[in-house]
A and B are shown apart, each in its own frame.
Chain A
Amino acid sequence: MKFRTFAAFVGPSLALMLVFIAAPLVGVLWQSFHLTQPIFETVEVESCTPSFTGQICTTELKTRPVLDEAGRIVTETTYVGLQSYRNVLEPDRLRQAIASGRWLDILDIDFWAALRFTLTFTLITLPLILLFGLGIALAVNNAVRSIRGPIIFVSLLPFIITPVIGALSIRWLFIGDGIMTAFLEWWLGRDIAMFAQGWTIELLMLFYRVWHVAPFAFVVFYAGLQTVNMDTLESAIIDGASRWERLRYVVIPHLMPLIVFVALIHLMDAYRVFEEIVGFSSQAHVISLQWLTYDFLTPDDAGNRAVSRASASAMLTMIGIVVLLVPLLRRTWRDHRGTRR
């Protein structure tokens, strides 16, 4: 391909990526090393608020930002190095917890508690999704041709639902005396409160994510199953390979690139787990890294937001994803180089 043609095709997408991905990323990186603060003054202010009998007036010292002539808040931006990262990671408390040998104390620090949940969530859902996806794909592939269409349609449904809505529907099924809780209580003959302790909420989250993402794995694997070499399969049958051996030595090696692909996508997605935290309002028990960033960025009633810490936490999330992906990416790269040779 001529360079001009290549550039004409790639240019627009490259430009968009620069504007919408690279530039914000650089911005976030910059913000995570800087701190923008309003300049405050402390003044005595008399404020009156209503009551029924009259007004309650109080005079107190209030800290308020200084405004310039145009009525804008005067701010100053300073370079703070790794301070925002230290605020998020709290290395002193971490060191203290490790030194004293009380490992559970580490989970008192928001970031590490979030990392704990995010990692277990990611690593538990990954094999389940691969397993269920492959299972459904094999089942559909072996089903009678006439019912394949409806089965594929039904198994894809969970994937079509908007994630937050899906999480909310599961929540409503189980919260308080929801239909499912009522059913479980009737079935097991005991009082059940799914949202009263952390582990049941985590269980619901895992269930929801597997239910939601397995169809994606299924579609990819099903497509891959259509390209399995029939000659190899037939020779395996002639050689006396059992159904399991055919799966183990013919089908799975054939699907391996797709398995790596699904794993890559899922690791990236699951590490950014967020909908489940919001949907199940699990903040009291478990939080995730992405939720932590969101929480830093949400302004409170007084309009404060922790932009620098949010940036630091976002950068740490990105670093986490890269670390998780490295083994898989190395494998893909090796395979790629292998085929080139």
Chain B
Amino acid sequence: MLKRIALAGTISLFATGAWAGCAFENQTPLKMLSAGFAAWKAVSGAMAECGNFEAELDQEFRHKQPAAFDANPALYQIGGVSNGTLVPLLNQGTIRPLDDLVAKHGQHLKPNQLIRIDGQTMAIAMMVNAQHLMYRKDILDDLGIAAPTTYEEVLAAAETIRAAGVVEYPLGGTYKTGWNLAQEFVNMHLGMGGAFVDSENRPTINNEMGLAALEMMKRLAAYMDPEYLVSDSTYVQQQFQQGKIAIANLWASRAGAMDDEGESQVVGKVKMASAPAAVAGRRPASTLWWDGVVLARNMSDDAAEAAFRVAMEGIDREMVEANNDAAVWLIDGFEATPVSRGAIETANNGAVPYPASSAMGLMHTALGNGVSDFLTGAKDAATTLADIEAAYLTAAEEQGLI
């Protein structure tokens, strides 16, 4: 929650009549609403070069977007979404199929950038994000530990590091109650081979895989800063930068910050690798996310065409070349650097996309509120999972999903 508040400050980029580095001069007033991390700053900056464009980068965008796109005419023509936040827009039918525009102005797009739902292109992906392993290579080398590939190896490494006493806490984790903690459970449960809801939207977490996921999280938490239930991505990133932790499973979008000389005391010492597997030989305990652009349905075809052309200017080769390390881009011209290695390996090792749906949204909330009861010791694992399923069922019945 703190992160949300701290980042809720909205950053607006204005550009009036600027026309440089853009293939055409845009005459239609356009607005975009997206998240506010580094990649979106780079993209909106490139879009602004076409003129008549205003971007609103807001970490609270997910709460605004469904209503703003539902308005007629839509309050924003271009939206930045991820696979999670695409769901409400798809459900409401407030975004435009892009096939005609792709045929006209988007031949250069790679096929895997086209997000196809039921045969129609509904969004253009620009980058992928995943949580993956980051570790202090210098510490692990000193202690003769190989980069861990499973969570059992992570625990063994943590034990060695603790015994050697090189850092304050061997592990870091985005275990902040709410969305972050739920996401960690999602990773671990998927890694154990679990699923969240069945085809009738009934919950499927109260089983051996759910129990194993919870137990593993608790064992990992024992090696973390005792205040782990308030630690979000920014906090873990800072712990890394200040040399307080040695291993963490952290977002790829944070990898660049480890080598930021202005902030980091461990420049060049943090290496990236695939997210560890929860069970040896299985897929990594992580999820793949993509970020991309969508266009609102409620605008004229001419405006849509202008918006699409501006969006294409935002996610073109020049932008990627200027901001190569800001994200793991899917766009032509991206060169994989050591920083992006973790995300790419995680994907290649078979991590699955985040299973976004209406039901999963409810499940994520129920997990975010419920998992901490097990970690604090307020409930045992079976009760925790049963209570989360009960909370999910109440919510799903209220939403009409069951």
Interfacial residues, chain A to chain B (CB-CB below 8 A): 35, 37-40, 42, 45-57, 60-65, 67, 71-73, 84, 87, 107-108, 110, 164, 168, 171, 175-176, 193-198, 278-281, 283-285, 295, 298-304, 306, 308-309
Contacts and interface: CB of A to CB of B under 8 A. Distances in A.
B401 A40 contact: yes
A71 B297 contact: yes
Interface in B156-188: 176-178, 181
Contacts of A168: 2, 5
Interface string B364-390: 110001001101101100010001000
A15 to B, nearest CB: 28
A64 B93 CA distance: 10
A44 B253 CA distance: 33
A12 B297 CA distance: 42
B358 A64 contact: yes
B357 A63 contact: yes
Interface of B: 1-2, 5, 62-63, 66, 83-85, 87-88, 90-94, 111-119, 125, 128, 176-178, 181, 199, 201, 225-227, 229-230, 235, 288, 290, 297, 330, 344, 347-348, 352-353, 356-362, 364-365, 369, 372-373, 375-376, 378-379, 383, 387, 391, 394-395, 398-401
A51 B128 contact: yes
Given A38-B400, A45-B118, A50-B128, A281 B177 contact: yes
B115 A198 contact: no
28 contacts: A40-B400, A45-B118, A48-B114, A49-B125, A51-B347, A54-B111, A54-B112, A55-B111, A56-B288, A63-B201, A63-B357, A71-B93, A84-B398, A108-B373, A110-B369, A176-B235, A194-B227, A280-B230, A283-B177, A283-B369, A284-B177, A285-B372, A295-B369, A299-B62, A300-B365, A301-B84, A301-B356, A304-B395
Given A301-B87, A304-B399, A49 B66 contact: no
A171 B375 CA distance: 22
B360 A278 contact: no
Nearest to A279: B2
B398 A302 contact: no
Contact of A196 (B87, B111, B227, B378): B227
Contacts of B62: 299, 301
A33 to B, nearest CB: 13
Contacts of B398: 35, 37, 84, 87, 306, 308-309
A51 B349 CA distance: 11
Contacts of A301: 62, 84-85, 87-88, 356, 361, 364
A48 B87 CA distance: 14
Nearest to B391: A110
Contact of B116 (A46, A65, A176, A281): A46
B81 to A, nearest CB: 10
B128 to A, nearest CB: 6
B196 to A, nearest CB: 12
A64 B90 contact: yes
Contacts of A49: 83, 115, 125, 288, 290, 353
A53 B2 contact: no
Contacts of A35: 398
Contacts of A52: 112, 128, 330, 344, 347-348
B387 A175 contact: no
Contacts of A64: 90-91, 358
Given A87-B394, A301-B62, A302-B87, A284 B362 contact: no
A46 B297 CA distance: 21
A283 B225 contact: no
A5 to B, nearest CB: 44
A302 B63 contact: no
A55 B290 CA distance: 12
Contacts of A303: 66, 87-88, 91-92, 358, 361
A285 B378 CA distance: 9
Contacts of B92: 65, 67, 72-73, 303
